[in-house]
Amino acid sequence: MKVSKLEGTTHSESEAGRELVYVDEFKQLINDNPGVISSFLKFDDIVKEKNKNHNLKNGEIFEEGNLRLTTVDRSKEVEVGRPAFYYKAEIGDESFFIKSIPGNYYKPDESMGAEEFQSIQKAKELLEGEEDVDVIDFQLGYEDKNGHTYFVSKWVEGVNINGYIEDQVKSNAERNRLVSKVLRILRLLDDSYYDVGRGNMMYDPVNKKIIVFDIFLTNKK
């Protein structure tokens, strides 16, 4: 097994093709809450079976031990057929967003866990110093030998930036400010990312920040 450090994370890559990237504090949280991973995997299987039988509902809650898992609204990606499942996971006082994607969706040569981490790290560099802009707080990316991927980040109470601007902003000055900020983010990231757009941004009305998420570098290294 090849192991190397990546700016406060541990990156492990096995010969079997499995890929794991995580931040140390998340690993410690899991260690402090034994059984959380097995509970999540059990619930994830239940959710997929319910979806297969067309009786999955958003907002369904599953609880076991120290884990409380809630299914959350899925994006347009899933509405057009992409197989992804989104959750809010609560472990003690901590809350996380989890995206679970069944195997064989991505190309065989794509290591999605490490790639998303590296893409987010680069975005943080490119957006450093931008007022009222942040990048999702990545915690873990894992791809198993069957290509099933999981992404974990800190939970953010946010809404899609487009919906926020169109439905909740009443002031023209505030609307113009947010639109200008979005366009600046797009300019700063567009040359490096193949999928960045308004669909990859949410607005946190409490902290008044635009949060960038779910983006991937054009050139994989």
CATH number of the domain residue 35 falls in: 1.10.510
Q: Is residue 217 part of a domain?
A: no
Amino acid 15: pLDDT? 45
Range of the domain at 98: 2-212
Whether residue 116 contacts residue 141, with contact meaning beta carbons closer than 8 Å, is answered with yes
Amino acid 93: pLDDT? 93
Q: Is residue 219 part of a domain?
A: no
- pTM assigned to the model: 0.83
* pLDDT tens track, the chain, 221 positions: 333 344 555 555 554 557 788 888 999 999 999 999 999 999 999 998 998 888 888 899 999 999 999 999 754 444 445 568 899 999 999 999 999 987 755 554 455 566 777 888 889 999 999 999 999 998 988 888 777 888 899 999 999 999 999 999 999 999 999 999 999 999 999 788 887 888 889 999 999 999 999 888 886 54
Amino acid 12: pLDDT? 54
Amino acid 3: pLDDT? 34
Q: Is residue 79 part of a domain?
A: yes
Beta strand segments in the chain, E:
2-6, 9-13, 19-23, 61-64, 67-71, 85-91, 94-101, 133-135, 138-143, 149-154, 159-160, 201-204, 209-212
Amino acid 8: pLDDT? 57
Q: Is residue 218 part of a domain?
A: no
Q: Considering its fold, how many domains does the chain have in total?
A: 1
Q: Is residue 221 part of a domain?
A: no
Q: Is residue 147 part of a domain?
A: yes
